[in-house]
Structure 1
Amino acid sequence: MFIRIVKMSFHEEKIPMFLEHFHGVKMNIRNFPGNNFLEIYQDKSNPSIFFTYSVWNEETDLENYRNSDLFKDVWAFTKALFNDKPEAWSVDKLVSLP
């Protein structure tokens, strides 16, 4: 299991555009081969900051997504809305409690 967390910060007036676009592509991302889980979070203290949390079978599944036309289209649209450089972490789950 491979987990990717991405932090994105948007211009406040661009947030509705981002969310509309995300809702339009979320199922394509979620159904991409190797993806098992996708969530998006919004920071409580700074509503311009969002995080995506995705779970992949293998690191190569994420790389296949990142090399896909789907990702290229999603990222081209999304990065134009940023007000700061995005950050990303690739992590392994060590413990999960029900």
Structure 2
Amino acid sequence: MLIRIVRLTLEPARVAEFLRLFQESEDQIRAMPGCRFLELWQDADQPHVYCTHSHWDSADALNAYRRSALFGQVWPATKVLFAAPPVAFSVRPAVLPPAPGQI
């Protein structure tokens, strides 16, 4: 599983536009092959900063979405709302070694 976090700093006056765009596309994104989870977070201290948090079966599934017609519509419409460049990264759950004495 791949977890994708994208931090979006929006122009404060355009937050409502972003939220409408997210609501219009979230179910379609969730329906993309390999998407297992999608939610939107709002920064606790900066109300114009949001993060998308999504889970994908693999990097290939995420990249297929990023090559899709849906992404080609949603991302350009979202980018024009930014006050700063987005910050995106992918992570996986960490695999920890067994604790001493638990082998």
What TM-score, normalized to structure 1? 0.94
The ranges of structure 1 where at least 4 consecutive aligned residues each deviate by more than 6 angstroms after the TM superposition are: none
Q: Could you list the per-position Cα deviations for residues 11-52 of structure 1 after superposition, in whole angstroms to 9, with x for gaps in the alignment?
A: 011000000110011000011000000011000100111000
Which runs of no fewer than 5 residues in structure 1 stay unpaired? none
Q: What pairs with 1:12-23 in structure 2 (closer than 5 Å)?
A: 12-23=12-23
User: What is the match of residue 64 of structure 1?
Assistant: 64
Which runs of no fewer than 5 residues in structure 2 stay unpaired? 96-103
Q: Structure 1 residue 93: deviation in Å? A: 1.4
Q: Could you list the per-position Cα deviations for residues 30-82 of structure 1 after superposition, in whole angstroms to 9, with x for gaps in the alignment?
A: 11000000011000100111000000001100000000010011001000000
Quote the Cα distance in structure 2 between the aligned partners of 1:93 and 1:41. Answer: 19
Give the fraction of aligned pairs with identical amino acids, expressed as a percent: 40
Paired residues in the alignment total: 95
Partner AA of 1:41 in structure 2: W
Which structure's CA Rg is the greater one? 2
User: What is the match of residue 11 of structure 1?
Assistant: 11
Q: Structure 1 residue 94: deviation in Å? A: 2.2
Quote the Cα distance in structure 2 between the aligned partners of 1:28 and 1:2. Answer: 19
